[in-house]
Amino acid sequence: MADARVPSLRNRNRTQRNSQPSAENEQKVEVRRSPRRRRTVTAYRDGDTTVVLIPATMTKAEEKHWVAEMQRKLQRAESRRASPARASDEALLLRCTQLSRRYLDGTAQPASVRWVPPMRTRWASCTPADRTIRVSERLREVPSWVLDYVLVHELAHLRVTEHNREFWNLVNRYPKTERAIGYLEGLSAAERLWASRPEHD
């Protein structure tokens, strides 16, 4: 949960108190207005929805600003909660075992899972023939739910090598698949933008 204090809203016209679902950065957002709330904005995740609690007197412009701000705060907080699996190859293998049991009926069992130096075009890779999984060091600091998605993706390749419907049916058992894909796409775009900047910037 994230909280923030907002400037004084005295002398503002009151707005409707109805909760209005909206979309921000392709994520579900639900805004809840409260007449009891005066000076604070609070936000938390409820499944795949970000719930933002704001004062009932807040204008639409203020609402838009604080929805974006609270999403950034939540994202930063989630990024700090990195997965314990980042600690070692052994921790990665243990996490794969847990995820396989939870989402793949325990049927995807890698022989080894290890961290490797950053790969040019992949977050991770799997070799079904020897049941090995390699995970890019670039993922050590991502939120735990993002790393879990990558691991489930590679575990699914131990059962289905192609990216076909059967494969995605397995991967989509992980409830944050779509959200994690969006996170990784954004991270890739940011890295490309950074790499394209002149060295003196």
Question: pLDDT by residue (tens digit) across 32-77?
Answer: 998 888 888 988 877 668 889 999 999 999 999 999 888 888 877 7
Task: Tell me which residue has tokens 């412009």.
Answer: 61
Show Cβ contacts of residue 153 under 8 Å, excluding neighbours closer than 6 positions: 124, 171
- The overall average pLDDT reported for the chain is 81
Does residue 191 have a pLDDT over 80? no
Is 80 exceeded by the pLDDT of residue 79?
A: no
Confidence (pLDDT) at 121: 82
CA distance 116 to 104: 24
In this structure, of 101-110, 175-184, 187-196, the range with the lowest mean pLDDT score is 187-196
What backbone torsions phi and psi does residue 72 show, to the nearest 5 degrees?
-65, -40
Model confidence at 197: pLDDT above 50: no
Across 5-19, 40-54, 92-106, least confident range: 5-19
Question: What's the rounded mean pLDDT across residues 111-139?
Answer: 93
Handedness of CA 56, 69, 174, 96 (dihedral sign): negative
> Could you please report the per-residue DSSP string of 8-76?
--TTPPP-----EEEEETTEEEEEEEESS--SEEEEEEETTEEEEEEETT--HHHHHHHHHHHHHHHHH
pLDDT at 137: 92
Q: Could you tell me which residue, 85 or 56, shows the higher pLDDT?
A: 56
pLDDT digits (tens, 9 = 90+) for 143-159: 899 999 999 999 999 99
**Rounded-to-integer distance, Cα 176 and Cα 4, Å:** 26
